[in-house]
Structure 1
Amino acid sequence: MIPQQFIGSEAQTTYEQAKVVILPIPYEKTTTYRKGCQNGPEAIITASEQLEAYDLELEQEVCQQTGIFTTEAIASTKLNPDLAPEMMMEIVSNRVSELINDGKFVIALGGEHSITAAIVAAYQQQLSQPFTVIQIDAHGDMRHSYEGSIYNHACVMRRVLDMGLPTLPVGIRSICLEEAQLIKQQQIPVVWGRDIYQNSDWIDRAIALISTEKVFITIDLDGLDPSSMPGVGTPEPGGLNWYELIKFMRAVFTRHQVIGCDIMELAPTSDSVASEFTAAKLVYKLIAYAQLKVN
C-alpha cells in the first residue's frame, strides 16, 4: 500500500476529477546488479511532498491547473514476493486499460523495467493507431531472453518490438552482441549516448526519427548520468544531464501526442535522497508538459 498522494496536499483531488493518474507498480523479480527498485515508487511519492508546486519554466502552479490522483499500488513484490512475471503482466495490462478507458493520462512508477511491456501492451490493445515507444535508457534492453526469462528487465524493448511497434532508444551506451546484431538487422534507429555529446542538434535529429504522431515515453532512470542519478541498479557513465532530458521531453510533447509515460528502475540509496527527489521532479515536469500548452 502506498497511501500518499503525489505532491501531497498541493494536488488533492478525486479520481473522477483527475486528469493525471500516478500508478505505482513496486514489482521487482529480475534485477541483476544493485537491487531495491521495488522501493522506487514509494520513495518518489514521498519525495514529491518536498516539491515546489510552482514551475519556473512554465510559470504556473502545475498541480493547480491539473488534477493529479495517485492510485493504490498494484503487482507489488513487497506484498507478494512470489508474484510471477506472467501474472504481473496481466495485472498491469488490465489496470492500465481501465485507466485509459476512463480517459486518464497515466504515469506509471516502477519497479523494474520489465513492467513497461505490460503497459505498452495495454495501450496497443486500446488504441486504433500505431505509436512509437521512446526509450530513455543506458541499455538496449533488447535481448530475446536473459537468465532464462523473456520477461527479464533486460528484454523489455525486445517484447515491445515483438508487438510490431516502432521504437526510439535514446541515450544508449551499453549493449551486447545480440542487441548490436538486432539493431543492424532491423535497422532500429538509435540515439546513442555519444551522439548527444557530439551533436548540438541531437534533439532535432531524434525527433526526425519518430515516424508516428502518437508516442509513449518510457524512462529508465539509468538513462540519466549517475552523477545526477546514482540511485539505480545498473549505472553507466555518459548519460543525459537534467537539462538535456527535460529539453528533449518538452520537444517531444510539443511536436507529438504523448499518450502515456512511465519512470522505472529507481533503487533508492540509504545515504542520499537526491535520486528520488530528481525522479519526483521529473514526474512533475512530465505532468506539466502533458497538461499545459508549451510553445
Structure 2
Amino acid sequence: MKFLAAKDRGEITIFGVPFDGTTCFRPGARFAPAGIRFFSENLETYSPALNRDLDDIDFCDAGDLEINALPEDMVETVYSFMENVKIPVMLGGEHSVTFPVVKALKERYGELTVIHFDAHTDLRDIYSGTAYSHACVMRRVLELGCKIVHVGVRSGTLEEFTLIRDNPLLHLVDIKKLPEILENEKNIYFSIDIDYFDPAFAPGTGTPEPCGGTPVEFFSIIYNLPSANIVGFDIVEVSPPYDPSGITQMLAAKVVRELILKFWGG
C-alpha cells in the first residue's frame, strides 16, 4: 500500500502525531507513524474482502506533525492542523492525540458520536498531573458533549465504570452491536486503540490487557457495517519497540487500509 506513494489530492488526509509524552507505563508510541507506514509497504492496495482498491481513491499523506513535549502544546498543534483537514485519518501516537481532532470535528458538525475501541475506559479526570493524559482522553471528549460508544473496554477504575453506567452519553457495548448502533447515529468518528486487540495479536503497545478482541472478529464486523457518515478515524497506542516482529504495526496498517476502503471506497 505504501501511504507515501498515495496521490497527493483528495479530501482524505493521513497524518502522523508522534507523541507519547503522557504515557504512563511503556513509552514508544512516538515511533508508530513511521512503523505503520513502513509495514504498509507489505500490503497490496487491493482488499479481496471488500473488492476495492486504494488506487481508486484520492487521498494524501501529510507526513508527521512536529510536536513539542508538553501535552497542551500537542493539543494546540493538532487542533490548528485540523483547520485545513476535511477527513482525518490520524496515526498516533498515544491516545491523548485523539482529543484535538474530535474537538475540531465536534465544532464543525455540532453532533458527533465517537466509537471508542479500547481495552481501557480512558475516563480519568486528571492523571499524572495533566488533564490531557492518554488516560483522560475520553473524559475530555465527553466534556465536549460527544456521545461515546465504548467497544472492548475491560479495564478501568470503579469511578470510571460508575460514570459509564450513570452518564447517558456513555455506552459500553459488544462489538456485535455496532451495525445496529451506526444506523442511528449522524456523524461518526472511530478511535481505535490497538490494545483493543488481545496482546496475542498486538503485543506492541504500551499498556497491554489480556482477553481482548481478535482481528478476524473485528474485520468481519467492520465489513458488514451499514452505510453511515463516517467523518474520520484514528489508530493509536501502537508501540514498535515492544514488537520486534512487527505484527502490531502490520495489523494497524491493515486496519487503516480496510477502514479507508470500507468508509470511502464506494
Tell me if both proteins adopt one fold, taking TM over 0.5 as the criterion. Answer: yes
Determine which structure has more spread, i.e. the larger CA radius of gyration. 1
Equivalent residue runs for 1:160-199 within 5 Å? 160-187=141-168, 188-191=170-173, 196=174
User: What is aligned with 2:249?
Assistant: 276
RMSD between aligned alpha carbons? 1.8
Alignment correspondent of 1:216: 189
Matching of residue 65 in structure 1 with residue 62 in structure 2: no
Q: Which amino acid aligns with 1:66?
A: I
Distance, in Å, in 2 between the alignment partners of 1:224 and 1:97 is: 32
The answer (yes or no) to whether the contact 1:6–1:70 under 8 Å persists in 2 is no
Among residues 43, 57, 70, which one is paired with 1:84 in the alignment? 70
Q: 1:218 aligns to what SS in structure 2?
A: strand
Deviations 1:37-96 (A, max 9, x none): 000111001111111122111223x221112311131143xxx4xx32111111101111
Runs of 4 or more, structure 1, over 6 Å off, are none
Which one-letter code corresponds to 1:290 in the other structure?
F
CA deviations 1:242-285 (Å, max 9, x no partner) are 12212333344x33210000000000135211111111111000
- In structure 1, runs of 5+ residues without a counterpart are 197-201
Aligned to 1:115: 97
Provide the rounded CA distance (Å) in 1 between the counterparts of 2:138 and 2:45.
34
Q: Whole-Å Cα distance in 2 between the matches of residues 169 and 93 of structure 1?
A: 23
Q: State the 1:130 CA deviation.
A: 0.4
Instruction: Work out whether 1:94 is the aligned partner of 2:80.
Output: yes
Shift of 1:184: 2.1
Secondary structure of the corresponding residue to residue 190 of structure 1:
strand
**Equivalent AA in structure 1 for residue 232 of structure 2:** G
The correspondence for 1:227, drawn from 197, 200, 205, is 200
Give 1:245's aligned amino acid. Answer: F
1:55 aligns with 2:47: yes
Assess if the C-alpha contact under 8 Å between 1:6 and 1:69 holds in 2: no
**Distance in structure 1 (CA, Å) of the matches to 2:49 and 2:228:** 20
Q: In 1, distance between residues paired with 2:178 and 2:13?
A: 28
Contact 2:94–2:237 under 8 Å retained in 1: yes
On the 8 A contact 2:11/2:85 being kept in 1, the answer is: no
Instruction: Check whether the contact 2:17–2:65 (CA below 8 A) recurs between aligned residues.
Output: yes
2:27 touches 2:239 (CA, 8 Å); kept in 1? yes
Instruction: Name the structure 1 match of 2:34.
Output: 42
* Count of aligned pairs between the two proteins: 263
Deviation at 1:214, TM superposition (A): 1.4
The 5-angstrom pairing of residues 126-141 of structure 1 reads 126-127=108-109, 129-141=110-122
* Alignment partner, residue 106 of structure 2: 124
Distance 1:251 1:165 in 2: 25
Shift of 1:8: 4.6
**What is the one-letter code of the residue matched to 1:256?**
A
1:97-134 CA distances to partner (integer Å, 9 max, x unpaired)? 2112xxxx21000001011111100101222x402000
Aligned-pair distance for 1:213? 1.8
What secondary structure, in the 3-state scheme, does the structure 1 residue paired with 2:95 have? coil
Q: For residue 135 of structure 2, give the secondary structure of its aligned residue in structure 1.
A: helix
Amino acid at match of 1:25: V
Instruction: Give the whole-Å Cα distance in 2 for the aligned partners of 1:42 and 1:287.
Output: 19
Distance in 2 (alpha carbons) for counterparts of 1:276 and 1:152? 23
Equivalent residue letter for 2:47: D
SS of 1:255's equivalent in the other structure is: coil
- Contact kept, 8 Å, 1:8 with 1:49, in 2: the verdict is no
User: Could you say which residue in structure 2 is the equivalent of 1:153?
Assistant: 134
Q: Which runs of 5+ in 2 are unaligned?
A: none
Deviations 1:217-262 (A, max 9, x none): 000000011111110111111111112212333344x332100000
Indicate whether 1:261 and 2:233 are aligned.
yes
Contact 1:189 1:209 in 2 (8 A): no
1:175-198: CA deviations, max 9, x gaps? 10110221122142102xxxx4xx
Aligned amino acid, residue 82 of structure 2 = V
